[in-house]
Chain A
Amino acid sequence: QKEVEQDPGPLSVPEGAIVSLNCTYSNSAFQYFMWYRQYSRKGPELLMYTYSSGNKEDGRFTAQVDKSSKYISLFIRDSQPSDSATYLCAMRQVAGGTSYGKLTFGQGTILTVHP
């Protein structure tokens, strides 16, 4: 079993739709949770990060973490064609001492928002 499982999609939605992207994880040591957006043939860019259960909002994006269920989500409101990309969830254990910790990624979800 992989430590992080991401709903693979792909997803295709009309402009203006609400998008929900989801990941589950099995390692209780994960404490930091991130969402990255990756455009074709580019490096991933960090969208949001959080380290506590609950919701975190940034503009049209909301990150949700439920540690008791080991489940995280990213919601995109009023989706735009420019949101078309691959979305990757990533998780990290608490870094201690000299360890910066490594990220464990989900498989990625390809999102297409059509006009």
Chain B
Amino acid sequence: DGGITQSPKYLFRKEGQNVTLSCEQNLNHDAMYWYRQDPGQGLRLIYYSQIVNDFQKGDIAEGYSVSREKKESFPLTVTSAQKNPTAFYLCASTGDRGPSGYTFGSGTRLTVV
């Protein structure tokens, strides 16, 4: 079945470490997105990419970095510059210019210890 796979499901990071969250899709979608979800704040856009080797900052890009070397993959690195990284991270993709929205992965819960 086609879908989006995020890994790991749970991730623990020590202060000062960089960590990378994986997102892979086999839907042949062009556009991919990273969102952060905190209680009571909905989903906030971190980075998005509409084509391989190109990506744009979203609303809260500081302390994060991404790459898009392959159509199927859009990894997110949470750097030590991100002051409050504990959150639920969601990856999404779409191949549709119309109204039908995104397909989401199942998320990665990142906790700083």
- Which residues of A does B touch, CB under 8 Å? 4, 6, 8, 31-34, 36, 41-46, 49-51, 88, 90, 92, 95, 98-103, 105-108
Q: Is B22 an interface residue (CB 8 A)?
A: no
Using A32-B98, A43-B104 as known contacts, list a sample of 9 further A-B pairs with CB atoms less than 8 Å apart, ordered by residue number in A. A6-B42, A31-B99, A41-B109, A49-B100, A98-B51, A99-B97, A103-B101, A107-B40, A107-B41
B99-A108 in contact (CB<8A): no
Are B102's CB and A103's CB within 8 A?
A: yes
Q: Are B50 and A99 in contact (CB under 8 A)?
A: yes
> B interface, how many residues as a size bin?
20 to 34
Given contacts A8-B40, A102-B58, contact A42 B106 (CB under 8 A): yes
Instruction: Mark out the residues of chain B between 34 and 53 whose CB falls within 8 Å of any chain A CB in the assembled complex.
Output: 35, 40-45, 48, 50-51
Specify the chain A residue showing the minimal Cβ separation from B6: A43
* Chain B at the A interface: SS class: strand
Q: List 17 A-B contacts (CB under 8 A).
A: A42-B106, A43-B6, A43-B92, A43-B107, A45-B104, A46-B100, A49-B99, A51-B99, A92-B99, A95-B97, A98-B51, A100-B97, A101-B97, A103-B33, A103-B102, A107-B40, A107-B41
